[in-house]
Structure 1
Amino acid sequence: MNGNGENGKSKRYTIFVLLTLAFVAVMVMYVEAMAFPSLPMVMRDFGLTVEDYALASWIVTIYLVVGAVAIPVFGKLGDIYGKKKMLVIAMSIYTVMVTLTGFSRDISDSIYVMIFFRAVQGLAMSMFPLAFSIIRDEFPREKLAVAQGVISAMFGVGTVVGVVVGAWVTEMWGWQWTYHTVAPVALLFTLLVAFKIKESPVRIKAKVDYVGASILGSMLVLFLVGVTETRNRGWTDPLVVGLLIASIAMMLAFVLWLPRAKDPLVRPALLKERDIALTNGIAFMIGFALFTANQTVVAIGGFTFQLDTIGTGLLMLPMAAVTLILGPSAGFVVKKRGPKWPMTAGMILCIMGFVMLLGYHSTQEEVMVGITVMGAGSAFAMVGSINMLLITTPKEETGISTAMNMIIRTSGSVVGPALAAVIISNNSSIIPGIGAVPDEYAYQLIFIMATVFMGIGVILGLLLTNRLALPELEKSGPRPAGVATDPSNGSK
């Protein structure tokens, strides 16, 4: 009786942890789902035009840049001091900065103030690897894929809520209320995590690589500033060339620093595991292609179709809805068949969506069809890649491995949209009665670029070894990272 009671209590607690962290994902995606669609409205409020799109896109990209640096730092701190403790700190930062971002236009008429608030808000991106690591610690390996599928589905829920409810809130009361409405919810969930979730017992002794984090952040910022300045100066301007060369120098410095760091930001030893290295390469391609396509669809809706925020949100709704529906299904498929083939099939579906958008984006219906296919593919690609990483990573290295993966994926998510924003800013025409509108060439070039990068992801996916989280191995202890799936159990 006592054993059954304890098991029931443990099961209820595990479900509570999953639901709490899942709704944190909903909360964050509610805000981020509106970050792209509300850009045209934000630009108007700050007196910007389509020629300033590269600057305005910093509202999204700076959040990702800071997140790319914060993720490994908070991930390592979580491994050292406790994942729950660092999650509470990250969520507290998020609550404060979401509140300030909502008042940024009242504080100053300069868009740089909002960009600054969004930058600090980016520290909270570390919530996600911390949450995934907590789930890894709480769930048995054979149930991990389903749990990850639930979290991925909640990303879809948050996106749906954002593009429907958030779009309505934005159109009725302004983009500021996207942030105002989420601030009390963020506070509530911060308190829930602080007082209701237990600290993970998994710890490692290590030091945080602050030098590596600084080099990585400098590399990304220099690259983004250089790319953004091409709109006003061109690619051959000495300042632009200097910034890009400095970015490359920082990248080389980062690579040279890794073997010298006692506890490096990115652990090269993990990348010696072939499937971990391939999965991280895939993560970059997925981040690059999906974020690039999403930003471009927003530009099509806001500038070409001249849609308001609600219209742009509804344009993206099919993609969000199909991601929501297929997220849990992807988790079950990954559990039964292993992550390789669902992930690879998902990337192929994304390519099909990109090709559709490349050839057909002159009507809203055509765009909806293309992004729906893309959304279906992204559900399987994301769930598959996360689970491949978790299955191959030793449990005590989950935090740093997940953080490393998110650095790489976030880097792709930063670089892709930055290039897309510059392409849009540099290729626009003035239409009487409407104003500056991106050229057809800009859209075609961006979708070709997304297709190429996702195609590289497919090639990397085919090189993976399929793996299953086998219950019998879970019972006997953690499965070695090199144990592959028996072909008879779903690797084919």
Structure 2
Amino acid sequence: MSPAISGPDAPEKAPHPRMFVGVLAFCGVVVAVMQTLVVPLLPHIPALTGATPAAASWLVTVTLLTGAVCTPVLGRVGDMYGKRRVLVAALGVLVVGSVLCAVSSQIGVLIAGRALQGAALAVVPLGISIMRDELAPARVLSSVALMSSTLGIGAAVGLPVAAMVIEHSDWHTMFWASAGLGVLDIVLVLAVVPESPLRARGRFDALGALGLSGALVCLLLATTQGGEWGWGSGRIVGLFAAAVVIGLVWGRYELRVASPMVDLRVSARPAVLFANLAALLIGFAFYANSLSTAQMVQEPKSTGYGLGASIVVGGLCLLPGGLSMVALSPVSARISARYGPKVTLALASGVLAVGYLVRFFTSHSLWLIIVGATVVASGTALAYSALPSLVMRAVPVSETGAANGLNTLMRSVGQAFCSAVVAAVLANVTFRVGGHTAPTLHAYLLVFLIAAGAALAALAVTLCIPGRPAGATGTTGVAGTVGERGPHTLVREDA
């Protein structure tokens, strides 16, 4: 069925495009900060809360799980019932989760609060969808590039900011600040961001959402807890098996339902499929930089390679990379506008691989470590800016939220696998020094080689993406006109 629209042919344009884009990007940065906010705090959680190290690790794991589950689900809900409405609700959940963490030192309450913070990751694909609906075509690519890059910008900014708060103030302060930023986001969105009148018709696929959530929880729980529970343990094997079984049943159901949670036929298009595979590999390659850099420079000098840096210095090593992501998002948009997002993504994958090559040979000098980490962040900026454009060229406008949610999900899955691999390498390639066990330099170099391999794999996958589709129109190269074909009918709520 061809999507149809009644009333005017195009949605109303945002009254103040720069402010509109700035507000949505600010929301994206705040949400992305939540992903790394507690990383500097993790070593101190057992002493601060009386929890075990295994329980403390759930402050990161649960955020990953809820973000992965909620991102595609809320993207679909936004397509059907209003993107701004769902975005505001997601920010409200972030505020509630932040307040829970701010008022308690009980590990159970902290985990619950972190779960709610993770659910707000859906803000990024929702923001991209709103931009596609509201902005003039000439502004879409650059705005979407910035919005997508906020995932990396926030992650890079979150580490040093959290480290400084932990060193100089009560650790609850960073959660109060998170709650305040969430409230500010809600106020700004309500004041500046219009609600798109475009809606996808159909009934919400509750069973599809439940099946997708179950498969993701099993997969990510097994991936993140494999090192703790044992990769050959019954629990891990059972979770992987359950993920496969649930995924197969869910896929069969989605192919038969009239209004699926995820349109697998659209997702199987080479342009979408390879873009999602590239997102998984880019997410893996990017996250290795975040996981290894701060820890590496904080290793004691007795290791022979560590610099004995403070937690703040370790976090600040990633800050130039965050700034480079801000600067490069418009550059990425210009490259995509002229040569296509496929070329941008291929270039990004190459830059990522070069960045890890620099890291491999410059692991004894602080400023060279920062240079290498910044090159990796630059490649990530180009990649994250290009991925939404690739997806939007290949899906109907009625599925923008769900499709970008799925692409964001694939980045999260890549980060989960990266976390498991990096943890396994650093925990097993060790030596005794100064009375304690520490990763060897070769462990970190192996991490860099694995991440470079993921970047090169992303390059190979990118080259398999078909060229510009016939349906792509306008200066943005985004296929999203009302006349596109798709399983959902697009209507205006105000019609």
Give the Cα–Cα distance (whole angstroms) in 1 for the partners of residues 234 and 35 of structure 2.
35
Residues 171 and 95 from structure 1, CA distance in 2 versus in 1: closer, same or farther, beyond 3 angstroms? same
1:185 to 181, 191, 198: 181
Give the Cα–Cα distance (whole angstroms) in 2 for the partners of residues 291 and 475 of structure 1.
30
Give the Cα–Cα distance (whole angstroms) in 2 for the partners of residues 78 and 225 of structure 1.
27
Identify the residue that residue 68 of structure 1 maps to in structure 2. Answer: 68
Moved more, 211-220 or 313-322: 211-220
**Structure 2 gap ranges (5+):** 1-11, 300-305, 487-495
* Cα shift at 1:386: 1.4
CA contact under 8 A between 1:171 and 1:308: conserved in structure 2?
Answer: no
Residues 78 and 240 from structure 1, CA distance in 2 versus in 1: closer, same or farther, beyond 3 angstroms? closer
- The alignment's TM-score, normalised by the length of structure 1, stands at 0.84
CA contact under 8 A between 1:227 and 1:422: conserved in structure 2?
Answer: no
2:114 to 114, 118, 124: 118
CA contact under 8 A between 1:323 and 1:375: conserved in structure 2?
Answer: yes
Identify the residue that residue 26 of structure 1 maps to in structure 2. Answer: 29
1:176 counterpart = 2:172: yes
Give the Cα–Cα distance (whole angstroms) in 2 for the partners of residues 252 and 10 of structure 1.
41
Q: After superposition, where does 1:427-438 map in structure 2 within 5 Å?
A: 427-432=429-434, 435-438=436-439
Give the Cα–Cα distance (whole angstroms) in 1 for the partners of residues 476 and 121 of structure 2.
35
* Cα shift at 1:317: 1.7
- The alignment's TM-score, normalised by the length of structure 2, stands at 0.84
Equivalenced residue count is 466
Q: Secondary structure at the match of 1:437?
A: strand
Amino acid at match of 1:252: L
Residues 63 and 305 from structure 1, CA distance in 2 versus in 1: closer, same or farther, beyond 3 angstroms? farther
Give the Cα–Cα distance (whole angstroms) in 1 for the partners of residues 272 and 480 of structure 2.
23
Identify the residue that residue 131 of structure 1 maps to in structure 2. Answer: 127
Q: After superposition, where does 1:2-401 map in structure 2 within 5 Å?
A: 12-42=15-45, 45-46=48-49, 52=53, 56-105=56-105, 108=106, 110=107, 112-152=108-148, 154=150, 158-159=154-155, 161-227=157-223, 229-231=225-227, 234-303=230-299, 305-401=307-403
CA contact under 8 A between 2:61 and 2:224: conserved in structure 1?
Answer: no
Give the Cα–Cα distance (whole angstroms) in 1 for the partners of residues 340 and 242 of structure 2.
42
1:410 to 384, 387, 412: 412
* Cα shift at 1:113: 3.8
Give the Cα–Cα distance (whole angstroms) in 1 for the partners of residues 112 and 463 of structure 2.
41
Amino acid at match of 2:275: T
Give the Cα–Cα distance (whole angstroms) in 2 for the partners of residues 429 and 55 of structure 1.
26
Identify the residue that residue 462 of structure 2 maps to in structure 1. Answer: 461
Amino acid at match of 1:285: L
Residues 351 and 56 from structure 1, CA distance in 2 versus in 1: closer, same or farther, beyond 3 angstroms? farther
Residues 125 and 450 from structure 1, CA distance in 2 versus in 1: closer, same or farther, beyond 3 angstroms? same
Moved more, 175-184 or 417-426: 417-426
Give the Cα–Cα distance (whole angstroms) in 2 for the partners of residues 301 and 43 of structure 1.
23
Report the RMSD for the aligned CA atoms in angstroms: 3.1
**Structure 1 gap ranges (5+):** 1-8, 483-492
Residues 481 and 458 from structure 1, CA distance in 2 versus in 1: closer, same or farther, beyond 3 angstroms? farther
User: What is the CA deviation profile of residues 96-152 of structure 1, one whole-angstrom value per residue up to 9, with x for unaligned ones?
Assistant: 1112123342xx1x3x54233212222111111111110110112232111123334
CA contact under 8 A between 2:145 and 2:386: conserved in structure 1?
Answer: no
Q: After superposition, where does 1:415-454 map in structure 2 within 5 Å?
A: 415-432=417-434, 435-454=436-455
CA contact under 8 A between 1:153 and 1:328: conserved in structure 2?
Answer: no
Structure number with higher helix proportion: 1
Residues 209 and 299 from structure 1, CA distance in 2 versus in 1: closer, same or farther, beyond 3 angstroms? farther
Residues 85 and 416 from structure 1, CA distance in 2 versus in 1: closer, same or farther, beyond 3 angstroms? same
Give the Cα–Cα distance (whole angstroms) in 1 for the partners of residues 187 and 382 of structure 2.
32
Give the Cα–Cα distance (whole angstroms) in 1 for the partners of residues 163 and 438 of structure 2.
22
Give the Cα–Cα distance (whole angstroms) in 2 for the partners of residues 44 and 302 of structure 1.
20
Amino acid at match of 1:393: V
Identify the residue that residue 6 of structure 1 maps to in structure 2. Answer: none
Amino acid at match of 2:235: L
* Cα shift at 1:164: 4.6
* Cα shift at 1:83: 0.8
Q: Secondary structure at the match of 2:197?
A: coil
Give the Cα–Cα distance (whole angstroms) in 1 for the partners of residues 51 and 434 of structure 2.
18
